[in-house]
């Protein structure tokens, strides 16, 4: 529900859901789970927790409750549900992940006059999908790198007027493997804004799990589960997706669901969990056998995906990517190599 329609068209999503329904899966809507006990009471023998990470992390800066401050995940969800949302004339988004990029591009499409993003590291460390970052820039969204918010600027009536930030510089690597941003003393600067969208991170909302539960949960609020079977420390309970990893991609969540399906099947039937096959070796372009075959191949650039013009798409939520023509598909296919690492000939 957080991915805008220009990236994930609703008709495509509905088609995918229909495929699931046609297999016999029952989807119960408007059925919030208050506790896991009610699941067991209904006779279910296994539970897979895939609640995502929709709870936004707070900024913890002064005036965070001012009018005009919204959290990106909830705001995007309201847009996708067709709920009424407000957008400012001058919008600033705080964060560097996909929610931040999606929020900025959505604000532009809803009529914002100017949109900018504040991110505390550089372009290289930005966790959002790289193509999405570049498309945001093409649409006119300005990104302030090496900047971190320190205060929401507001007037006497507690209405947002802008954002005060520190300039940052990168220091030594932190636990994420990226260089940690460090404040530059005396570097404060202001950005005028009547709306600030917070997208600094999301955590799972695990309110349905009681405080006295023995389910193992990381300090950051993520559920602990096995890497292959997705089983938790409690028999019959499995978990995966963003609820385990934190915010990641749709395909990562789908992959976790597939692993969990195998794990649940083995748990219910008593079958041993299949041994994991070793990852196949991936040929590299500098391998000698590759060099032997590639010397006969004329290199061609990747076929570029046609897209709606950057100026035109800023006012519509239509899918940005237009798809490849038959001729382009054939041209792209001819760039492929066979699995036995030899040239395909036509």
The string of pLDDT tens digits covering residues 294-339 is 556 667 788 889 999 998 998 899 999 999 999 999 888 877 765 4
Indicate which CATH number applies to the domain containing 41. 3.50.50.60
- pLDDT value at 345 more than 50: no
Q: How confident is the model at residue 187 (pLDDT cuts 50, 70, 90)?
A: very high
The answer to whether residues 61 and 194 belong to one domain is yes
Strands (E), the chain: 47-49, 55-56, 69-71, 90-94, 114-118, 142-144, 147-154, 160-173, 179-183, 189-192, 195-198, 202-203, 237-239
Instruction: Look at residue 317 and tell me if it is in a domain.
Output: yes
Mean pLDDT of the chain: 89
Domain-located, residue 18: no
Answer yes or no: do 77 and 181 share one domain. Answer: yes
Is 119 among the domain residues? yes
Indicate whether 106 belongs to any domain: yes
Does 190 lie in the same domain as 61?
yes
The domain boundary, picked from 151, 177, 202, lies at: 202
Look at residues 269, 301, 319 and tell me which one is the last residue of a structural domain: 269
- Answer whether residue 178 is part of any domain: yes
Give the per-residue pLDDT at 291: 61
Write out the residue range of the structural domain in which residue 157 sits.
55-202
CA 331 – CA 344 distance, rounded (Å): 12
Please tell me the distance from the alpha carbon of residue 241 to that of residue 287, in angstroms, as a whole number.
35
Query: Is 17 domain-assigned?
Result: no
Helix then strand count (H, E) for the chain reads: 10, 13
Cα separations in angstroms, 256 against 6, 225, 229: 25, 10, 9
Q: Is the pLDDT of residue 174 over 90?
A: no
The 10s digit of each residue's pLDDT in 123-135 is 999 999 999 999 9
Q: What was the pLDDT predicted at 341? A: 47
Q: 11: part of which helix (H) or strand (E)?
A: helix 10-22
CA 287 to chain centre: 34
Overall average pLDDT of the 211-220 stretch: 88
Do both 92 and 147 map to the same domain?
yes
Residue carrying structure tokens 């195998």: 262
Shared domain for 99 and 179, answered yes or no, is yes
Residue 343 has pLDDT above 60, yes or no: no
For residue 337, the model assigns a pLDDT of: 63
CA distance 24 to 202: 32
Does some domain include residue 180? Answer: yes
Same domain, 90 and 178: yes
- Is the same domain home to 172 and 222? no
Q: How many domains does the chain have?
A: 3
**pTM for the complete prediction?**
0.83
């Amino acid at each position: 529900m957080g991915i805008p329609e220009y990236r994930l068209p609703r008709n495509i999503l509905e088609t995918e859901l229909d495929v699931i329904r046609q297999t016999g899966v029952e989807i119960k809507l408007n059925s919030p789970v208050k506790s896991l006990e009610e699941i067991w009471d209904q006779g279910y023998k296994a539970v897979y927790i895939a609640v995502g990470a929709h709870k936004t992390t707070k900024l913890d800066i002064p005036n965070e409750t001012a009018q005009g401050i919204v959290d990106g995940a909830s705001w995007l969800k309201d847009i996708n549900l067709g709920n009424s949302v407000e957008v400012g004339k001058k919008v600033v988004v705080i964060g560097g992940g996909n929610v931040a990029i999606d929020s900025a591009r959505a604000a532009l499409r809803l009529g914002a006059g100017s949109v900018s993003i504040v991110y505390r590291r550089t372009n290289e460390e930005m966790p959002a999908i790289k193509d999405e970052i570049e498309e945001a820039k093409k649409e006119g969204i300005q990104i302030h790198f090496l900047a971190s918010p320190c205060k929401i600027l507001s007037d006497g009536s507690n209405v947002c007027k802008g954002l005060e930030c520190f300039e940052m510089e990168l220091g030594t690597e932190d636990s994420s493997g990226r260089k940690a941003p460090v404040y530059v003393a005396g570097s404060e600067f202001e950005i005028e804004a009547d709306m600030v969208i917070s997208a600094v991170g999301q955590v799972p909302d695990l309110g349905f799990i009681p405080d006295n539960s023995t389910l193992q949960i990381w300090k950051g609020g993520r559920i602990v589960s096995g890497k292959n079977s997705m089983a938790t420390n409690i028999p019959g309970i499995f978990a995966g997706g963003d609820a385990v990893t934190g915010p990641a991609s749709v395909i990562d969540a789908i992959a976790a669901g597939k692993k969990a399906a195998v794990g649940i099947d083995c748990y219910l039937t008593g079958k041993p969990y299949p041994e994991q096959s070793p990852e196949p070796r991936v040929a590299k372009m500098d391998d000698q056998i590759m060099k032997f075959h590639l010397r006969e191949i004329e290199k061609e650039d990747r076929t570029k995906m046609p897209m709606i013009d950057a100026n035109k798409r800023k006012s519509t939520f239509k899918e940005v990517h237009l798809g490849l023509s038959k001729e382009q598909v054939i041209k792209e296919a001819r760039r492929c190599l066979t699995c036995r690492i030899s040239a395909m000939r036509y």
